[in-house]
Structure 1
Amino acid sequence: MSSERAAGTLDGRTIVVTGAGSGIGKATAQLAAAAGAYVVAVDIKNQDGTLSEILSAGGQGEAWTLDISDRDSWSSVVEGVLASRGKIDGLANVAGIVSDADALTTQTDEGWNKILGVNLRGAFLGMQSVIQPMLDAGAGKIVNVASTAGLIGMPNTLAYSASKGGVIAMSRQVAIEYAARNIRVNVVAPGVTQTAMLGDITEDLLSAVTAATPTGVLGTAEDVGNAIVFLLSPLSDQISGQVIPVDGAWTAQ
């Protein structure tokens, strides 16, 4: 779904996007704004730059600094948005972290706790923080970003896989619990995606990963953002509790 085709699908909706400072979060924030949403861009850094680009493109929104693993930080953001907008229609939990020492024999207690604190606790706190405003409004959409690492085994992703698998299980539970109250909760699971999170991956490894992807190309942040915007829109009203891989058919093999 390009920004042109998505135009108007989020008109009038207030959408909170975590991790909006870069990568998939930034792309999601920009695509949601292009679709008509009032975007609340939140991140630990660079969220103001994303908002500036949204406003320059004719979109609407505001930016907040948010530590997604901190309950008080979430409370401040939600209270501020409700004060300015009076509602929260959607939440895209995009923010996440990885580690280059994430294997059974190399991962530390500190590293394990940090990754699960951001990736799993962050998604939990986000959902918990917005659920009451959504219930008060009688509707809401939540999209949590997991990973194909939460669906299949992948090397050097121990804590990351655990956190993303937890996000999937948690999202399904919340989807069932609130389905009858018009709250829709879904998961997008990106495969290897062309963002800064790839780090210093070598050209040889990048070529190997691309060759192993059935479509023959790696996804972009916009590819994932488009899936998120679709799930936040009325076009997905009968979809809940689902995990949608955006991985070039990787997990279909």
Structure 2
Amino acid sequence: MQGKTAIITGGGSGFGRETAIKLAQRGANISVVDISNEQGEETVKLCKELGTDAIFVEADVSKVEDVKRYVSQTVEHFGKIDLFFNNAGISGSGVRTLDCSEEEFDAIVAVNLKGAFYGLKYVVNEMLKTGGGSIVNTASLGGIVGMPTLGPYSATKHGIVGLTKTIAGEYGRDNIRINAIAPGTNETPMVKAFPAEAIKAMGEAVPMGRLGQPHEVGNVVAFLLSDEASYIHGAVISIDGGSAAL
């Protein structure tokens, strides 16, 4: 990936940070996009320590002007976009679907689905100018199966799967390769905030008997973005310890 440029949304922590590190280790320049300035800048620091160039762009992906800005600032700094990890998302408060407020439903759709759509719209347009690129969208186990108490989240992640497959059909001949990942429950900062008993129970519910680690997701994303995955297109890759198999 030497000399390639990657945009990573939600790059300040979790899957985004781990993927940024994996890509930087392979020589890619990184544009870290996150709503948290502190976390985003820390990821930039980690990437630069690996000898690559990196910038941070603070953005709320639910706002189309912010999306246009992270795309334009990346192009201004690096000259092009080769790789895109379309990853930023939120989960919700964990209530039964019909108890979810309209405001919360709209907020989850705005970040998870519209934010991903905006990113695809403006990043793909730049990739078309330079001969193509590779994209990975973050769906979820909840984009393959239902997730009680996370209905709006699950609905948006099913939407991500639909966008991925459709765009694969539309832009494959333009040398734009797109896939999605469907992670299960991982030990991200959000999950680590749960009570210890809850974390233990979540791990025991997984066929492999444990939760995933963000670096395990980063490994798969880095592979899918690389030329080693050159004939994987329109796929949804489960990274869930076997949870979707049940």
TM bucket (normalised to shorter chain) is over 0.9
The alignment status of 1:125 with 2:118, answered yes or no, reads yes
The match for 1:63 among 37, 56, 62 is 56
Question: Which residue is 2:16 aligned to?
Answer: 25
Question: Which residue is 2:6 aligned to?
Answer: 15
How big is each residue's C-alpha offset from its partner over 1:103-158, in whole Å with a ceiling of 9 and x where there is no partner?
Answer: 22320010000001000011100000111111111111110001101111222111
Letter in 2 for 1:41: V
SS of aligned partner of 1:40: strand
Q: Which runs of 4+ in 1 moved over 6 A?
A: none
SS of aligned partner of 1:194: coil
The alignment status of 1:152 with 2:153, answered yes or no, reads no
Question: Which residue is 2:25 aligned to?
Answer: 34
Question: Which residue is 1:4 aligned to?
Answer: none
Note the C-alpha offset of 1:199.
5.4
Question: Which residue is 1:3 aligned to?
Answer: none
Question: Which residue is 2:242 aligned to?
Answer: 249
Q: What pairs up with 1:1-253 in 2 under 5 angstroms?
A: 10-45=1-36, 46-198=39-191, 200-253=193-246
Letter in 1 for 2:220: A
Q: Residues of 1 paired with 2:58 and 2:114: CA distance?
A: 17
Segments of 5+ residues of structure 2 without an aligned counterpart are: none
Q: Residues of 2 paired with 1:107 and 1:143: CA distance?
A: 29
Note the C-alpha offset of 1:205.
2.5
Number of matched pairs: 244
Segments of 5+ residues of structure 1 without an aligned counterpart are: 1-9
Once the two structures are overlaid, the 10-residue window that deviates more, 82-91 or 195-204, is 195-204
Q: Residues of 2 paired with 1:57 and 1:181: CA distance?
A: 32
Note the C-alpha offset of 1:200.
3.6
SS of aligned partner of 2:204: helix
Q: Residues of 2 paired with 1:90 and 1:59: CA distance?
A: 15
Contact 2:192 2:199 in 1 (8 A): no
Q: Residues of 2 paired with 1:27 and 1:93: CA distance?
A: 14
- After superposition, the Cα gap between the structure-2 partners of 1:128 and 1:102, relative to the gap in structure 1 and judged at 3 Å, is farther
Note the C-alpha offset of 1:161.
0.3
Q: Residues of 2 paired with 1:212 and 1:76: CA distance?
A: 41
Once the two structures are overlaid, the 10-residue window that deviates more, 44-53 or 96-105, is 96-105
